[in-house]
């Protein structure tokens, strides 16, 4: 089993005729993702990789019964794209676009929740349920079907951890890149709950980084609600206070958000924290 996406996912690609949208559409389709349509205003009737293009998300949903959308439009248009998908009845919206203004995300996120939908991203690599469906830009060749759930704020660290999991024989049920911006959609607590309730996920790898208090809140949630083994890695352990490191959300301020504080929070609730990403598979195996 998996969470959020599987073989029954009916995906539309917003921005399918653009450079990135077209490139990753071909990759997702080759993996077996059920892409039923794409959107690009003014280009209805065209085909991309054998996939029909529609002017609007509403047209695409009415014609194809799509339930999931992935967004590859430029940052100035991402807010409208997210809200358009929610308004059309799409229930899972994955925004890959980076550089989306924070206030745009706040507005779009509120609207998406009002419509009863879920958002992943923006500024994220997407998600994958190995051998079932891939939505986004993840390198599918490193993934292997299995029972370890992966949640990560960092795209490249997701790939490194998954490569090590696969190399050590630990396949993945679903891997989710939540994004590194200050405001994003589904985050640690919601995804931890989904993995806890998934009967075919037996362990969870959590990848965090400096900035904010999401990891500390995740640790408290694990203490109260998660019975499955969890292992973590925190990026930015050598980052100097006050410096933004990579992601817009990865900034330490007012004496909070440091790697040391996050590591301490996890260790206090019995979650082992790897010093290097390559240690996560062994930390999980020791607890299975």
> What is the predicted pLDDT for the residue at 210?
85
In this structure, the answer to whether residues 246 and 149 fall within a common structural domain is yes
Q: Using one digit for the tens of pLDDT, what is the confidence trace for 247-261?
A: 545 455 544 578 889
Range of the domain at 22: 11-120
In this structure, the answer to whether residues 146 and 270 fall within a common structural domain is yes
CATH of the domain at 107: 3.40.50.720
The two three-digit tokens of residue 183, written as one number: 């405001």
- Between the alpha carbon of residue 226 and those of residues 2, 63, 104, 118, 204, the distances in Å are 17, 40, 33, 22, 10
- Counting as low any pLDDT under 70, the low residues of the chain are 1, 238-256
- Between the alpha carbon of residue 43 and those of residues 95, 158, 206, 239, 288, the distances in Å are 21, 35, 41, 47, 51
Q: Using one digit for the tens of pLDDT, what is the confidence trace for 187-200?
A: 999 999 999 999 99
Per-residue DSSP letter, 136 = E
In this structure, the answer to whether residues 159 and 108 fall within a common structural domain is no
CA distance linking residue 228 with residue 233, whole number of Å: 17
In this structure, the answer to whether residues 148 and 83 fall within a common structural domain is no
Please list the active-site residues: 247
> What is the predicted pLDDT for the residue at 251?
53
CA distance linking residue 126 with residue 201, whole number of Å: 19
Q: How many domains does the chain have?
A: 2
131 located within any domain: no
In this structure, the answer to whether residues 94 and 15 fall within a common structural domain is yes
> What is the predicted pLDDT for the residue at 288?
78
């Amino acid at each position: 089993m998996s969470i959020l996406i599987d073989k029954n996912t009916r995906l539309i690609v917003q921005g399918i005729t653009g450079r990135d949208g077209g490139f990753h559409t071909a990759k997702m389709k080759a993996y077996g993702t059920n892409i039923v349509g794409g959107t690009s205003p003014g280009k209805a009737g065209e085909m991309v990789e054998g996939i029909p293009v529609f002017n609007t998300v509403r047209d695409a949903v009415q014609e194809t019964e799509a339930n999931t959308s992935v967004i590859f439009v430029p940052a100035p248009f991402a807010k409208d794209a997210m809200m358009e998908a929610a308004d059309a009845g799409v229930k899972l919206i994955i925004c890959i676009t980076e550089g989306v203004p924070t206030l745009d995300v706040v507005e779009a996120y509120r609207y998406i929740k009002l419509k009863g939908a879920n958002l992943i991203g923006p500024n994220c690599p997407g998600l994958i349920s190995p051998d079932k469906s891939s939505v986004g830009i993840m390198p599918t060749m490193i993934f292997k079907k299995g029972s370890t759930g992966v949640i990560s704020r960092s795209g490249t660290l997701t790939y490194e951890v998954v490569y090590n999991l696969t190399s050590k024989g630990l396949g993945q049920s679903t891997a989710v890149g939540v994004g590194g911006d200050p405001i994003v959609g589904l985050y640690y607590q919601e995804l931890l709950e989904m993995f806890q309730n998934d009967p075919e996920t037996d362990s969870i790898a959590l990848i965090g980084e400096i900035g904010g208090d999401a990891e500390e809140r995740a640790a408290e949630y694990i203490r109260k609600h998660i019975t499955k083994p969890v292992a973590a890695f925190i990026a930015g352990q050598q980052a100097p206070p006050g410096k933004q490191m990579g992601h817009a959300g990865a900034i330490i301020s007012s004496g909070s958000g440091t790697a040391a504080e996050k590591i301490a929070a996890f260790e206090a609730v019995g979650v082992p924290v790897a010093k290097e990403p390559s240690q996560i598979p062994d930390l999980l195996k020791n607890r299975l």
